[in-house]
Amino acid sequence: MNPTIELIHRRKSIRDYEDRPVPDSVRDEILRAALRSPTAGNMMLYSIIHVSDPAAKATLARTCDNQPFIARAPLVLLFLADYQRWYDYFRLSGAEELSARRGRPMQTPEEGDLLLACCDALIAAQTAVLAAESLGLGSCYIGDILENCEEHRRLFSLPRYAFPVSLLCFGYPTQEQRQRPLTSRFDRDYIVFENRYRSLQPHEFQMMFHQALQEMDASGARNPGLRMYQRKFTAEFSREMRRSVKRMLESWAPD
């Protein structure tokens, strides 16, 4: 295995950090790498907020489904899908006047633009994860940043077309975390298809969960589908995520 492949294979989420700061030079190296990520149309449709304020981290630890380790992470980066910057620049460049001359309203960013910007933001986030890993730092994504949009908008002064799509915590892993085994993944047969999509047959689901079943306790192993349906898909945090994202999407619908 070459060192890049080896790094990708050994990476795991780290939620417990040594009590030492991440030097600015290391943070800057991570950011420099993230900013080299591929980006749609070379437009960099994202922004990154370095959350250094301990009070803001403490708020995130609460608003992101009560995950206290967020407040303890020495480095926290918020990735925004961001069309606001380009929208402002289009207006500054005379896009409203141009549209008026052509007898139509100026185009505003819509849901499709948001998805493209999310692609940009998430690609940059994953580049940051791998760069951090190569520098000895562990990381953990926080999907719960999609919840409580009203509070997050206020906390970070987010304008209409800035969408907080991913939060990343970084820090030096504790010895215990370093030794923790990797989590398993589903076999590629169920994930990678050739040329066309293939729905899985009932017997394939059984094989797909073979490895996962060994990692679950007895109650989960009895019915992993129902367990995930209850614990994740219909859990309170999922309901809040759906509510919050619906609210955020309202901003991207044309007026």
Ligand X SMILES: Cc1cc2nc3c(=O)[nH]c(=O)nc-3n(C[C@H](O)[C@H](O)[C@H](O)COP(=O)(O)O)c2cc1C
Site residues (vs ligand X, CB under 6 A): 12-13, 15, 67, 140-144, 183
Q: How far is the CB of 141 from ligand X (least distance, A)?
A: 4
Longest dimension (CA), the chain: 68
Question: Residue 221 carries which side chain, given as an amino acid letter?
Answer: A
Q: How far is the CB of 15 from ligand X (least distance, A)?
A: 5
In the complex with ligand X, the residue whose CB is nearer, 162 or 169, is 169
Both structure tokens of 34: 């993230």
Q: Counting Cβ atoms within 10 Å, is residue 55 exposed (0-12), middle (13-18) or buried (19+)?
A: exposed
Q: How far is the CB of 11 from ligand X (least distance, A)?
A: 7
Q: Helix/strand/coil (H, E, C) string of 141-194?
A: EEHHHHCCHHHHHHHCCCCCCEEEEEEEEEECECHHHHHCCCCCCCCHHHCCCC
Residue 179 and residue 169: Cα distance in Å, rounded?
19
In the complex with ligand X, the residue whose CB is nearer, 46 or 90, is 46
In the complex with ligand X, the residue whose CB is nearer, 61 or 116, is 61
Q: How far is the CB of 50 from ligand X (least distance, A)?
A: 19
Q: How far is the CB of 164 from ligand X (least distance, A)?
A: 12
In the complex with ligand X, the residue whose CB is nearer, 143 or 159, is 143
In the complex with ligand X, the residue whose CB is nearer, 183 or 195, is 183
Query: How many alpha carbons fall within 13 Å on the CB side of residue 37?
Result: 26
Q: How far is the CB of 146 from ligand X (least distance, A)?
A: 9
In the complex with ligand X, the residue whose CB is nearer, 157 or 183, is 183
- Say if CB 255 and CB 108 are below 8 A apart: yes
